[in-house]
Structure 1
Amino acid sequence: MSARHFDRGRMRGVRRAAEISQAEAAAALGVADSTVAGWETGLAIPDAEKLPALARVLKRGLDDLFPRTGLPDLTDLRCDAGYYQYETAELIGTKSAGPVAGAERGERRLKDKYVPDLAAAYGVSTEELRRAEDRSIAKAQETQSGEPESQDADAVPAALAGPPGTLAEKITLILERSYPGQQGPPTDAEIAGAVNAHAGSQVISEEGVRELRTGAVETAAPVVLEGLAAFFGVSSMYFQPDDAVARQVYEGLRLLSASRKGAVGRVKGRGMGAQGLPANVMEFVNDLVTELEEREPEANE
């Protein structure tokens, strides 16, 4: 799960700036005064299900006050909608929350009949709900295997279960797979600065990048997409709706990830049907895999 970050100091500062007392915040949330005090002193942290209501009380956006890196799984969507797991039984018309609990654990998929009602309650599309479900399942598989990749020769890391579809997924894929080590990926502010420098003017803010990365905003102006492509070093077509280039970049990142784990043989380029990778791209990927395989013994000597 890509949990939201709770910063007690930031919460306290925002509350004071809004001139809202701890007692007023507690009353609005239906909790004791001591509970809010405990959150701000670090004695406890609020349930993830409480964060949306807390953000509303403090008159701030959820992503702004409690940011999250990465894309949400099913548990994240539920928490962002402010529901506890036991409350989902009523949402889908069942006697227990078992169907949702099982899906959140990645044990089984939701039945089709439950999806529309649950998506509506969470304030997302059915497609977004299914994508979040895929992430829950991928996380469960990774946990069971004890490593990002299974032993299947054709397996890929959980985060690379398929080519990215949305703009948020395209950005997240690059951030997760192109910045290894302690340095980590660039911040939203750094990305915004680079895009603005490329454009020669202020075309996006730090908050704007965050909204694109988290999926709060699904589209961006061409000049922003061009700046993102230039900053990340990918084709400008990668961020376009046509997913042909996205599949090519996905295959390259898939290879890059495996090469860093010494498992390049698991990701040799394969055709993907009528909409598959072009023959020249597949040839390039396979040649690169072979070259990396030949180098692996040298690295282990």
Structure 2
Amino acid sequence: MPPRQIDGSRIRAVRRGRDLSQQQLGNMVGVSGPAVSRWENGQDFPKGEKLPAIAKALHTPLDDLFPHDGPPDLQLLRCDAGLSHAQAAEVINASLAPLGNAESGRRRLSDAYVKPLAKAYGVTEDELLAAQDRSFGVQVPSGGGQASGPRTIEEKINFLLQHGYVGQEAPSDEEIARAVNEHAGTAIVTVGDIVALRTGATTGASDAVRAGLAHALQVEPALFQDDAELGPEARQLLEAFRFIASIHRGQILGLAARGNSTGLSEKMMATIGDLVGELKHKLPDVPGGE
């Protein structure tokens, strides 16, 4: 079923109000009259990419005729652009697999596909990436923006350097390069390579380099795989880094010994304590830690 809500009786009522026969509507959107009849009787649904054409033929706003809940995912963007899987695949000169995998949350789109698809769908690249995150179950505000968690190698390195070393000095590029090479057992990166990854000048890395980065920054190797959506444990770990770092910087008020006068309840304080205790073994050593 398409990602929009389809009410066959609503299609029938609007069609009759426009004084169109089922065959006439079918001709306008490229289907048969019996196909329209099946839609109106609830025996079948029009393909998602047909909905914009139906709304246009009936002179009715798409969202009014076929409403949907929440911001769009990749499938909704494609369908609202009036493109089938095959037509969208032609845009990126690829098979159906990349689109199918991305829309079903199995494998993300190659970076090379983002710009042409965004243009074809009539959205910005950020909006397309936000829709892709939603296809993978990541909640992103309707205006796009950063997903809940870093996505690229550059974002992951900088996130971990910023949030993962509470009360400690984060490793330098030289230290990261040395740790990566030690993990690999041979010299596979230079300091310049690490700088290029950290600044986004280089966007790809071999599996050995990814594993070495995970070792150097004390996280699970899966975190550095581009095509793997972050699991709940990895996302929890990243949020714990961010949360504990914000406490350390004083951005979360009411936790100091002066009396918690800013509104955090005893229950919330206990929850925070439990969270820190549960995640302590996953975090880099912090002052006072075991």
Give the TM-score taking structure 1 as reference length: 0.50
Structure with max Cα Rg = 2
Secondary structure of 1:49 counterpart: helix
Q: Which residue of 1 aligns with 2:268?
A: 289
Where does residue 125 of structure 2 map in the other structure?
126
Shift of residue 7, structure 1, vs aligned partner: 0.9
Distance change >3 Å, CA 2–CA 15, structure 1 → 2: closer
Candidates 252, 257, 263, aligned match of 1:279: 252
Deviation at 1:33, TM superposition (A): 0.8
1:111 aligned partner, one-letter code? S
Which sits farther off after the overlay, 41-50 or 56-65? Answer: 41-50
Displacement of 1:21: 1.6
Distance 1:3 1:105 in 2: 12
Q: How does 1:53-202 map onto structure 2 within 5 Å?
A: 53-94=53-94, 96-138=95-137, 158-159=138-139, 164=141, 166=143
| Conserved 8 A contact 1:2-1:73 | no
Confirm or deny: 8 A CA contact 1:26 1:33 kept in the other structure: yes
Q: Distance in 2 between matches of 1:126 and 1:119?
A: 5
Unaligned runs of 5+ in 1: 139-157, 170-265, 295-301
Confirm or deny: 8 A CA contact 2:105 2:135 kept in the other structure: yes
1:272 to 1:46, Cα distance in 2 relative to 1, 3 A: farther
Cα distance, 1:272–1:53 mapped onto 2, change above 3 Å: farther
Q: 1:125 deviation in Å? A: 0.9
Higher fraction of helix: 1
Q: State the match for 2:44 in structure 1.
A: 44
C-alpha displacement at 1:14, in angstroms? 0.9
Deviation at 1:165, TM superposition (A): 6.9
> What whole-Å deviation, never above 9, does each CA across 1:88-114 have from its counterpart, x for those lacking one?
2211122x1222122112122212211
C-alpha change, 1:35 and 1:120, in structure 2 (3 Å) is same
Equivalent residue for 1:220?
A: none
Runs of 4+ in 1 over 6 A off after TM superposition: 266-269
Q: Alpha carbons of 1:18 and 1:93: their partners in 2 closer, same or farther (altered >3 Å)?
A: same
Tell me if structure 1 keeps the 8 A contact 2:26–2:35: yes
Gapped regions of structure 2 (runs ≥ 5)? 147-237, 257-262, 274-290
> Normalization by structure 2: what TM-score?
0.52
Letter in 1 for 2:22: Q
Identity across the alignment (%): 39
Residue 281 of structure 1 deviates from its aligned partner by 6.8
